[in-house]
């Protein structure tokens, strides 16, 4: 006698109980606090906020904890929460020239107004595992210097003053697209492309950006500037007739100065690739600016030949919540479809065997 | 500002209909390009005044405390409902919709779940199947989701359901006029495997240029002697749109034709909804010399003895032992309750 | 903006979640089986000349994402505009071509169907849905309609009817998959005429 497998419900409940158990790990080790995650795994939290499209360190820390450190799972948790939030309004564009800068470097000029400022960076560390960090060593306080009143104009603005780089697109009153509210269609405007890249998977963008450096859509990039710091977020309040600051967020901005364009009529000028990401995420901001520039190929009259220049390909595959869902869905039962394939392949093999037999 | 600007980029005061606004003062606001700030909305940073705001709210223990009926907020439901109505008016046409992130992964039924959430009401009776069965893990998970978020009555009995969400099967029992069948769709574009670009396939649908599909099917015949598509077998709806029936076996295709039930299709990751109204022609593509044929099974269901139904193959041992049983578990149980017996049901007839 | 009055604030759904769900299901049933009036649960109490049914459909489907066109009878009423703005947040457009929904209280003076958004070959869904209040439906007489959603052809007319409506409908059908869809409402009833519905007599 055959009894069909039952009890999916109990199996699921038991699996989730086991998951919770494993997430907690050895009970004799103190549980992680959200403050520990938010304070000490800051870059993981930043990534989750950025790709989760929700600026909330505490919720991102919770997501990291709940996801056992699986950042794509954490991003997914944050997105699924975000989607339920009511929308009260839209911010004004943030002004990164007015950023309270913690780090600012340029690869294009040795010195410039406001200076270079290394800030907290892995750059130039020797990648040697530090056994002291197995404990909680005393650390010297960071060096401080008096706040510098010198303005830190953006490198691209300095180049623009001389007309050497294409100007930023003029500010318009045109509505800003929102791919979380309207399905993406192609061709997509740059606002939607940048939004997709800002939420896009860091690894995917990194690989695409790298591919442009290796000749698949080369753009001759220079890091005009990377800056990290805090910016104010303002919203318009029509009832008041002016905008109001509602908070401050940390962002990383990368302006890539790339391949110049020119024609008989227009003198040559450098072009821009732009990256802006929540939190401290230099690798992501740089990759984003490379891919942004690559995706502008069509607008700038370049041939679209490389994957990074292919808007539909890039934007359709950059979202890791989508890609992980669909890749992982393959583990769901497919036995109905598989049975259909089995039936066909058995029948075709039988037909061939019969033909061979008849021929012999 | 024009009216159209209003629609897309609403000022603070117009962003939600009045009746659905949460408390505005001191709460979060969106940042540029749709990236939302959560700031003071976060329950973890000492705020408690969000009673009545739509959407999920965390309490101090970070447990989900309240959420909208059937999870989705009203504005999202309206957007999905509008897409469903367009789909019904243009049978087989894939309507783009602003699919939301759901608390389950893309590819696991988010499209079907959104469609179900948008149609479901308190009087509905919901059935969820995956591979024809009510007790497969993903069906259990989705049914549990709606029990939790909508408190809706559920059933495993096809006859009792008003809304049936399905993945990969159409129930064996003929659906009736009051029923709605919601399909979970992974790749809604029937031409996708022939042409990966949406920009191209959309043109082909617009021009009703379907030669590519016929060429593909014909190449199958030339190479294999058969049309090698056994599931997600393309259909033509009301003589106009070629449509993907979702990865149901082609065995189920004839059930779609002039069905009395309304059939709705949701593809969450691909952000498409489409529909087949009741009594609508749904014809599987074929050729005069290679007419469309459904799968047949050599033996009846080993449990209930049913013939002319779709069967799962179950491997019994590693010596080639196998049996075939109904994929539609409700159909099988109903037949057994009526006294039908198969070869391995363990009871004499 | 008109001052808020009690008329503006009142007459919405008292239970938006379930009432809009019920209205949606009625509209969906009406479009799924066209030319067959189905009961529309009474729920909204908008200011005249917006009828209860027009108001209920607007509350159910319109919001800040959907520009709404009002026919002259409705557009002339500040009370109607204020009520719709307050309860739906939908922007009002003067251009029928830009409208996601057109609300019509005076069907005899309906503009030509071709004045509304028809969608494109690639995006036929980008079209206007007309919601038209009529006095009564006639399913005994009237022309025969058929198409998806019809087990057999059905007779259907919505009165009062604009002169030349059937010719316009035939022209609308000829555009398929482009074209407009119509949701007719009468006292406690809703009937759909999606673009897929065709006049059986013209075959």
Structure confidence by residue, pLDDT tens digits, B77-100: 999 999 999 999 999 999 999 999
Q: What is the CATH number of domain B76-284?
A: 3.40.50.11310
Q: How far is CA C25 from CA B110, B121, B183, C131, in A?
A: 21, 9, 18, 15
Catalytic residue (one of B87, B92, B268, B305): B92
Distance from CA of C169 to the nearest CA of B (A): 14
Mean pLDDT on A44-72: 97
Same domain (yes/no): A112, A236: yes
SS3 B313: strand
**A4 assigned to some structural domain:** no
Q: How far is CA A66 from CA A16, A21, A291, A328, C165, in A?
A: 12, 12, 32, 19, 61
Residue B332 annotated in active site? yes
Active site residue B132: no
Per annotation, catalytic residue among B111, B132, B301, B305: B301
Percent of chain B with pLDDT over 90: 66
Q: Which of B112, B130, B162, B157 is nearest to B327 (CA)?
A: B130
Q: Is C125 on the interface with B (CB under 8 A)?
A: yes
- Contact between B32 and A94 using a beta-carbon 8 Å cutoff: yes
Chains with ≥3 CB–CB distances under 8 Å to B: A, C
What predicted TM-score, i.e. pTM, was given to this entire model? 0.88
| Nearest beta carbon to residue C148 from set B69, B82, B277 | B277
Residue A325 domain-assigned? no
Last residue of a domain, one of A30, A52, A82: A82
Task: Inform me whether the C-beta atom of residue C4 falls under 8 Å from chain B C-beta atoms.
Answer: no
Q: Is 70 exceeded by the pLDDT of residue B35?
A: no
Could you read off the pLDDT of B119-135 as tens digits, one per residue?
999 999 999 999 999 98
pLDDT interval class at B31 (50, 70, 90): very low
pLDDT the model gives residue A7: 67
pLDDT at A113: 87
- The total number of structural domains in chain A stands at 3
Across residues B324-335, what is the average pLDDT? 96
Domain boundaries, chain B: 20-66, 76-284, 296-349
- Average pLDDT over every residue of A25-52: 97
Catalytic residue among B132, B304, B305, B342: B304
Among the residue ranges A142-151, A234-243, B166-175, the one predicted with the least confidence is: A142-151
Residues A192 and A105 in one domain: yes
Asked if A63 and A153 sit in the same domain, the reply is no
Q: Show the domain range for A294.
A: 96-123+149-169+177-318
Q: Which residues of C touch B175 (CB under 8 A)?
A: none
Helix/strand/coil (H/E/C) assignment for every residue in B234-256? CEEECCCEEECCCCCEHHHHHHH
Q: Do A194 and A289 fall within a single domain?
A: yes
Same domain, A191 and A240: yes
Residues of B whose CB is below 8 A from C89: 10, 14-18
**Length of chain C in residues, anyone?**
203
Q: Do residues A314 and A334 share a domain?
A: no
A58 located within any domain = yes
Tell me whether residue A77 is in a domain: yes
Q: Are residues A263 and A239 in the same domain?
A: yes
Greatest Cα-to-Cα distance within chain B, rounded to the nearest angstrom: 78
Q: State chain A's mean pLDDT as an integer.
A: 91
Q: Are A340 and B251 within 8 A, CB to CB? A: yes
| Beta-bridge partners for B129 | B166
Residue B144 is a catalytic residue: no
Domains of chain C and CATH, by start: 12-202 (3.40.50.11310)
pLDDT of residue B48: 31
Spatial CA neighbour of A150 closest among A176, A115, A180: A115
A275 and A232: one domain?
A: yes
Rg over alpha carbons for chain B, rounded to the nearest Å, is 23
In the prediction, which pLDDT does C124 show?
98
> Cα dihedral sign for C44, C50, C53, C54?
negative
* A67 contacts: CB under 8 Å, gap ≥ 6: A73, A74, A76, A77
Question: Inter-chain contact C24–B81, Cβ cutoff 8 Å?
Answer: yes
**Per the CB < 8 Å rule, is A86 touching B329?**
no
Average pLDDT of A36-53?
97
For residues A72 and A109, membership in a common domain is answered with: no
Range B222-238 average pLDDT: 91
**What's the confidence (pLDDT) of residue A2?**
52
**B178 to chain C: closest CA residue:** C29
Residues A196 and A342 in one domain: no
Contacts of A237 in chain B (CB under 8 A): 12
> Residues of B with CB below 8 A from C120's CB?
206
In the annotation, is B92 catalytic?
Answer: yes
Q: Does residue A88 form part of some domain?
A: no
With an 8 Å Cβ cutoff, is C98 touching chain B? yes
Task: With respect to residue A247, please indicate whether it lies within any of the assigned structural domains.
Answer: yes
pLDDT score of C151 = 97
pLDDT of residue B66: 56
Give me the mean pLDDT over the A185-212 stretch: 96
| Chain C nearest C-alpha distance from B329 (Å) | 29
User: Which of the residues in chain C have pLDDT under 50?
Assistant: 1-2, 202-203
DSSP label at residue B271: T
pLDDT digits (tens, 9 = 90+) for A310-332: 999 999 999 999 999 999 999 99
Alpha carbon B105 to chain centroid, angstroms? 14
Same domain, A72 and A161: no
Residue of chain C nearest B82, judged by CA positions: C61
Residues of A in contact with B232 (CB under 8 A): 337
The secondary structure of chain A, three-state, reads: CCCCCCCHHHHHHHHHHHHHHHHHCCCCCCCCCHHHHHHHCHHHHHHHHHHHCEECHHHHHHHHHHCCCCHHHHHHHHHHHHCCCCCCCCECCCCHHHCEEEEEECCCCCCCCCCCECCCCCCCCCCCCCHHHHCCCCCCCCCCCCCCCCCCCCHHHHHHHCCCECCCCCCCCCCCCCCCCCCCCCCCCHHHHHHHHHHCCHHHHHHHHHHHHCCCCCCCCEEEEEEEEEEEEEEEECCCCEEEEEEEEEEEEEEEEEEEECCCCCCCEEEEEEEEEECCCHHHHHHHHHHHHHHCCCCCCCCCCCHHHCHHHHHHHCCHHHHHHHHHHHHCCCHHHHHHHHHHHHHHHHHHHHHHHHHC
Residue A24 falls within a domain, yes or no?
yes
pLDDT for res B347: 55
* Average pLDDT, integer, range B309-326: 92
pLDDT in tens, A217-260: 988 999 999 999 999 999 988 778 888 999 999 999 999 999 87
Query: Looking at the domain assignment, is residue A323 inside a domain?
Result: no
Catalytic residue among B109, B266, B268, B326: B326
Q: Is A241 exposed, middle or buried (0-12, 13-18, 19+ CB in 10 A)?
A: exposed
C 31-70: CB under 8 A from B: 31-33, 60-67
Do both A164 and A308 map to the same domain? yes
Token code pair at residue C52: 């209860």
The H-assigned helical ranges of B257-313 are: none
Contact A85 B55 (CB under 8 A): yes
Q: Which of residues 249-278 of A touch B (CB under 8 A)?
A: 249, 278
């Amino acid at each position: 006698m055959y009894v069909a497998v039952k009890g999916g419900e109990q199996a699921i409940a038991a699996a989730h109980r086991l998951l919770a158990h494993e997430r907690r790990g050895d009970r004799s080790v103190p549980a992680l606090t959200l403050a520990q995650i938010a304070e000490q795994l800051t870059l993981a939290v930043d990534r989750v906020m950025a790709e989760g499209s929700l600026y909330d360190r505490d919720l991102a820390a919770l997501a990291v904890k709940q996801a056992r450190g699986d950042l794509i799972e954490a991003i997914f948790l944050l997105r699924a929460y975000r989607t339920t939030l009511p929308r009260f309004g839209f911010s004004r564009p943030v002004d990164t020239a007015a950023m309270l800068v913690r780090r600012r470097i340029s690869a294009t000029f040795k010195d410039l107004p406001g200076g270079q400022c290394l800030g907290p960076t892995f750059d130039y560390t020797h990648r040697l595992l530090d056994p002291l960090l197995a404990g909680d060593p005393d650390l010297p306080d960071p060096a401080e210097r008096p706040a510098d009143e010198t303005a830190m104009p953006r490198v691209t603005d300095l180049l623009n003053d001389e007309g050497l780089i294409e100007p930023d697109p003029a500010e318009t009153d045109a509505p800003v697209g929102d791919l979380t509210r309207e399905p993406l269609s192609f061709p997509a405007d740059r606002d939607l492309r940048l939004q997709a890249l800002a939420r896009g998977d860091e690894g995917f963008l990194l690989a695409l950006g790298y591919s442009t450096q290796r000749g698949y859509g080369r753009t001759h990039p220079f890091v005009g500037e990377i800056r990290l710091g805090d910016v104010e977020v303002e919203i318009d309040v029509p009832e008041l007739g002016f905008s109001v600051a509602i908070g401050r967020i940390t962002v990383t901005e990368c302006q890539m100065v790339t391949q110049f364009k020119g024609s008989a009529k227009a003198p040559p000028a450098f072009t821009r690739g732009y990256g802006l990401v929540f939190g401290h995420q230099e690798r992501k901001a740089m990759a984003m600016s490379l891919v942004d520039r690559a995706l502008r190929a069509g607008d700038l009259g370049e041939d679209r030949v490389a994957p990074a220049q292919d808007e539909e390909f890039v934007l359709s595959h950059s979202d890791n919540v989508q890609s992980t869902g669909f890749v992982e869905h393959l583990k769901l039962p497919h036995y109905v479809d598989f049975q259909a394939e089995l039936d066909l392949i058995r029948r075709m093999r039988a037909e061939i065997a019969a033909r061979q037999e008849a021929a012999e | 500002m024009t009216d159209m600007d209003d629609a897309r980029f609403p000022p603070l005061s117009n962003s939600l209909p009045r009746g659905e606004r949460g408390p505005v003062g001191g709460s979060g606001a969106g940042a540029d390009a749709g990236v939302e700030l959560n700031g003071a909305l976060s329950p973890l940073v000492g705020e408690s005044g969000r009673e009545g705001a739509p959407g999920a709210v965390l309490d101090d223990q970070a447990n989900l405390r309240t959420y909208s009926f059937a999870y989705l907020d009203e504005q999202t439901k309206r957007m999905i409902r509008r897409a469903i109505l367009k789909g019904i008016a243009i049978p087989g046409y894939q309507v783009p919709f602003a699919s939301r992130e759901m608390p389950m992964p893309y590819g696991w039924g988010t499209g079907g779940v959104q469609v179900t959430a948008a149609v479901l009401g308190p009087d509905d009776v919901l059935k969820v199947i995956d591979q024809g069965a009510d007790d497969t893990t993903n069906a259990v998970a989705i049914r549990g989701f709606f029990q939790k978020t909508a408190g809706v009555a559920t059933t495993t009995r096809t006859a009792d359901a008003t809304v049936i969400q399905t993945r990969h099967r159409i129930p064996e029992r003929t659906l009736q006029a009051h029923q709605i069948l919601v399909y979970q769709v992974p790749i809604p574009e029937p031409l996708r495997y022939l042409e990966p670009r949406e920009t191209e396939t959309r043109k082909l649908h617009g021009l009703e240029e379907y030669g590519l599909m016929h060429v593909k099917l014909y190449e199958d015949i030339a190479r294999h002697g058969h049309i090698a598509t056994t599931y997600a077998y393309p259909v033509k709806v009301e003589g106009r749109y070629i449509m993907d029936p979702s990865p149901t076996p082609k065995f189920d295709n004839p059930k779609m034709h002039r069905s009395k039930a309304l059939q709705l299709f949701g593809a969450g990751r691909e952000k498409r909804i489409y529909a087949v109204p009741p009594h609508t022609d749904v014809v599987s593509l074929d050729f005069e010399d290679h007419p469309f044929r459904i799968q047949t099974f050599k033996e009846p269901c080993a449990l209930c003895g049913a013939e002319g139904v779709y069967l799962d193959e179950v491997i019994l041992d590693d010596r080639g032992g196998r049996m075939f049983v109904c994929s539609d578990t409700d159909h099988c149980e109903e037949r057994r309750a009526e006294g039908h017996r198969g070869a391995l049901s363990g009871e004499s007839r | 903006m008109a001052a808020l009055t009690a008329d503006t604030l009142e007459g919405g759904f008292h239970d938006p979640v379930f009432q809009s769900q019920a209205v949606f299901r009625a509209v969906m049933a009406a479009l799924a089986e066209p030319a067959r009036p189905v009961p529309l649960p009474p729920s909204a109490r908008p200011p005249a000349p917006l009828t209860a049914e027009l108001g209920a459909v607007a509350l159910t489907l319109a919001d800040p994402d959907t520009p709404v066109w009002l026919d002259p009878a409705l557009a002339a009423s500040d009370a109607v505009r204020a009520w719709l703005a307050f309860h739906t947040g939908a922007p009002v457009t003067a251009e029928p071509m830009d409208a996601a929904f057109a609300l019509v209280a005076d069907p005899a003076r309906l503009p030509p169907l071709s004045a509304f958004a028809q969608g494109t070959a690639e995006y036929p869904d980008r079209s206007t849905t007309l919601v038209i209040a009529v006095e009564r439906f006639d399913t005994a007489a009237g022309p025969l309609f058929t198409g998806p959603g019809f087990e057999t052809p059905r007779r259907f007319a919505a009165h009062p009817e604009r002169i030349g409506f059937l010719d316009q409908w035939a022209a609308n059908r000829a555009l398929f998959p482009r074209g407009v869809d119509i949701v007719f409402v009468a006292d406690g009833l809703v009937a759909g005429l999606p673009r897929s519905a065709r006049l059986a007599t013209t075959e």
